[in-house]
Amino acid sequence: MSRANTPWQPVTAADLQWDDAANPVAAAFDDVYYSRDNGLEESRYVFLLGNQLPQRWQLHPEKHFCIGETGFGTGLNFLLTWQAWRDLPQPRPRLHYLSIEKFPLSRADLARALGQWPALENLASQLQQHYPGLIPGQHRLQFEDGAVTLDLWWEDAGHALPQLASLQLPLVDAWYLDGFAPARNEGMWRREVLHAVGQLCRDNATFATFTAAGQVRRELGAAGFTVEKVPGFGRKRECLRGTMTRERPAPAPASVTPWDLPAQRRAPPERVLVIGGGLAGCHTAYALARRGIAVTLLDQSALAAEGSGNEQGILYTRLSLKHSALTDFALQSFRYASALYFELLQRNALREGRDGALCGSFHQSDDAREMEALAGVLETVPELAQVLDADQANTILGIAQTSAGYWFPASGWLSPVAVCRALAAHPNISLMQDCGKLTVRLEDGGWQALRGAEIVAQASNAVIATGNAANQIPGLEWLPLQPIRGQTTDLSSSGPLKDLRAALCHKGYIAPARNGEHCIGATFGLQDPDSRLREDDHRENLARLAAAVPDYRDELSAIDTHALRGRVGYRCATPDYLPLVGAVPERQAFLRDYGQLRNNARQIIHSTGEYVPGLYLNTGHGSRGLTSTPIAAELLASQLCGEPPPMDRELCRALAPARFLLRDLSRNRI
């Protein structure tokens, strides 16, 4: 079932009561989150010991170990697992923890619940720092420099798990089945949920749960597990553990044409070529490098020499009263990007004020009706966005405003050039600049980067992140990319602009000064190949700023536009304003296998997709590359490494490059 066009709203928080011993109790289920006797010890016994953790980590043959949990609740299981992982000596597999939760705790309740465990204080405060609150969707959080990934899916397990299982990908090594007691929480223990648990298992996967209910035992047996009853914790007589030993349940019949499921899958790579050193290429290289993969990052010229070459850009997102792939991606990518830049700033890989600042951004709006409607909707997610009137905006920005709008406290500005440099400095990345115009070729099952006939580098996989030039690679000519010219203007900081404390987005944008200058922008020119700076465009940028900051109008009109500096760059847009992220389809095979869509676009065709082995794409980031490229890189890294994706299948399909072949077949255009 698609979310598109349904009302966008924050998720419903868990309704908590607190018992006499300050333990949280879920009012709707009349049940406790963990044992009243000793929550810590119960969790350790039932879930960690029940899955033979941490011992299994030391013998684990793969680079990552994935735990799936039904019911994130207070995060206690996660924190205990993270702590046990931390206590292990290196080398240890990366920890990937995927948890599904329909009724997340509010921030305040989470803080109160976790306040009970002084031994977990350090980890709990890191979790609270990045906790997504009640923003709907799937959220990727990373800790320990990317070695610990927490995926929080704020969804009903009855929807999320069958949807994940429909990827037909073994993802999970150990399950923590932690709904409330089956008699009170039937939805968490239904056959569809437990069968999806079985379908998602990797080889030798295990599960553990506190319950010993007969129905649960039978369904888990039917899901492929050999189930064992063992003594329960404390006063509980028995609980269940099990190992995947039998056949996993057959996949449910496809409800959509599975063009996004690759017919063949490759082993996780040891080395990857990334072609293109802009934001898309650098984030991709970084996401892979953090997974221990050797990356050769190649650019025809210097890092960030094209679209990503501006001194300042804004971390944008998008609000809407309705769900759509565009809105969901804008919000999920924004939350992830903001957390990643926060981490880079915190450890001085990016220098505050010089390379960026998460000082917030205010977006003017003249849509009073939408603001009124969203003001109510946003009430429980003030950390995401708030509606401000002009006076409130004055106070926050430090300069006079006449317009109301939206305030995004986790936003700010970044220097794309500095971001690219910081990411490319990862020790697992070998950077090759000034390579000249490269292309790629598949040879003996691996990929070569070629300058003319010369092999410059090779690896098992390649990612094309060459912005607008991606459709110059042979076989990719069909990609629908549109270059959009944009000119920025450098403005020395004077007058009221000196007081600007946060980014201001109007018909253009301005951020607090960097090295005494603001890089303001930007013009928007379709089909405009003229890459020279134009005085008219400077005037346009100044006029827009004057309209947004009326107090500054006179000073702006006195500026000699002839002497202004700036920069011209090209955004790379797609017809649906979403980037192109994922495996490269075999075009001819798609036209053959899905050709019947020309006659009936609604039918389900049961063939999986033929993809070019080991070739991926990351481009089409339009005007929002600072926001969209970090999660896009995570999506690619997850696909290459066989890890859970950072977003649900619906969104992955909305980003997959092959969508345009399906669209054109359905419209009978190809």
Ligand X SMILES: Cc1cc2nc3c(=O)[nH]c(=O)nc-3n(C[C@H](O)[C@H](O)[C@H](O)COP(=O)(O)OP(=O)(O)OC[C@H]3O[C@@H](n4cnc5c(N)ncnc54)[C@H](O)[C@@H]3O)c2cc1C
Asked if 136 is part of the footprint of ligand SAM (rule: CB under 6 A), the reply reads no
Token representation of residue 372: 């009124």
Q: Tell the smallest beta-carbon distance from residue 301 to ligand X (Å).
A: 5
Near ligand SAM by CB under 6 A: residue from 23, 51, 166, 185: 185
8 A C-beta contact, residue 25 and residue 17? yes
Q: What is the DSSP letter of 102?
A: S
Instruction: Determine the Cα–Cα distance for residues 552 and 643; give it in Å rounded to an integer.
Output: 51
Asked if 630 is part of the footprint of ligand X (rule: CB under 6 A), the reply reads no
Our CB check for ligand SAM shows the closer of 193 and 289 to be: 193
Asked if 305 is part of the footprint of ligand X (rule: CB under 6 A), the reply reads yes
Near ligand X by CB under 6 A: residue from 417, 465, 504, 548: 465
Token representation of residue 294: 């050797």
* Nearest Cα residue to 75 out of 151, 181, 147, 2: 151
Q: Tell the smallest beta-carbon distance from residue 126 to ligand X (Å).
A: 26
Near ligand X by CB under 6 A: residue from 488, 489, 574, 639: 488
Asked if 278 is part of the footprint of ligand X (rule: CB under 6 A), the reply reads yes
Asked if 573 is part of the footprint of ligand SAM (rule: CB under 6 A), the reply reads no
* Nearest Cα residue to 279 out of 316, 329, 313, 330: 313
State phi, psi for 562 to the nearest 5 degrees.
-65, -35
Token representation of residue 39: 């929550």
State phi, psi for 346 to the nearest 5 degrees.
-65, -35
Span interacting with ligand X, options 32-40, 44-52, 245-253, 460-468, rule CB under 6 A: 460-468
Our CB check for ligand X shows the closer of 205 and 578 to be: 578
Asked if 45 is part of the footprint of ligand SAM (rule: CB under 6 A), the reply reads no
Side-chain-facing half-sphere of 28: CA atoms under 13 Å: 11
* Nearest Cα residue to 438 out of 299, 237, 570: 299
How many residues sit close enough to ligand X to count as binding (CB under 6 A)?
Answer: 44
Interaction partner, residue 233 (ligand SAM, ligand X, none; CB < 5-8 Å by kind):
none
59 forms beta bridges with none
Our CB check for ligand X shows the closer of 371 and 438 to be: 438
Asked if 481 is part of the footprint of ligand X (rule: CB under 6 A), the reply reads no
486 forms beta bridges with 569
Asked if 423 is part of the footprint of ligand X (rule: CB under 6 A), the reply reads no
Interaction partner, residue 316 (ligand X, ligand SAM, none; CB < 5-8 Å by kind):
ligand X
Our CB check for ligand SAM shows the closer of 39 and 269 to be: 39
**Helical ranges in 436-550 per DSSP H:** 535-548
Asked if 188 is part of the footprint of ligand SAM (rule: CB under 6 A), the reply reads yes
Our CB check for ligand X shows the closer of 278 and 405 to be: 278
Q: Tell the smallest beta-carbon distance from residue 258 to ligand X (Å).
A: 28
Neighbours of 357 (CB within 10 A): 22
Q: Mapping DSSP to helix (H, G, I), strand (E, B) and coil, where does residue 407 land?
A: strand
Our CB check for ligand X shows the closer of 49 and 305 to be: 305
- DSSP line for 241-309: EEEE-SPPPPPPPPSS--TTSBSS--PPPSEEEEE--SHHHHHHHHHHHTTT-EEEEE-SSSTT-STT-
Asked if 644 is part of the footprint of ligand X (rule: CB under 6 A), the reply reads no
Our CB check for ligand X shows the closer of 113 and 339 to be: 339
Neighbours of 234 (CB within 10 A): 11
> Within 258-277, which residues bind ligand X (CB under 6 A)?
275-277
Asked if 14 is part of the footprint of ligand SAM (rule: CB under 6 A), the reply reads yes
Beta strand residue intervals within 333-415, DSSP E: 356-357, 361-364, 386-388, 405-408, 413-414
The CA dihedral of 321, 326, 328, 332, to the nearest 10 degrees, is -130
Asked if 42 is part of the footprint of ligand SAM (rule: CB under 6 A), the reply reads no
Instruction: Determine the Cα–Cα distance for residues 555 and 513; give it in Å rounded to an integer.
Output: 17
Near ligand X by CB under 6 A: residue from 359, 481, 522, 640: 522
Tell me the CA distances in angstroms from 522 to 131, 518, 554, 579, 670, one per residue in order: 33, 12, 21, 20, 36
Span interacting with ligand SAM, options 153-161, 237-245, 518-526, 560-568, rule CB under 6 A: 153-161
How many residues sit close enough to ligand SAM to count as binding (CB under 6 A)?
Answer: 23
Near ligand SAM by CB under 6 A: residue from 46, 97, 101, 241: 101
Residues that bind ligand X (CB under 6 A): 275-281, 298-301, 305-308, 310, 313-314, 316, 416, 435, 437-438, 465-467, 469, 486, 488, 509, 521-522, 569-572, 619, 621-627
By the criterion CB under 6 A, which residues form the site for ligand SAM?
A: 14, 33-34, 71-77, 100-103, 156-158, 178-180, 185, 187-188
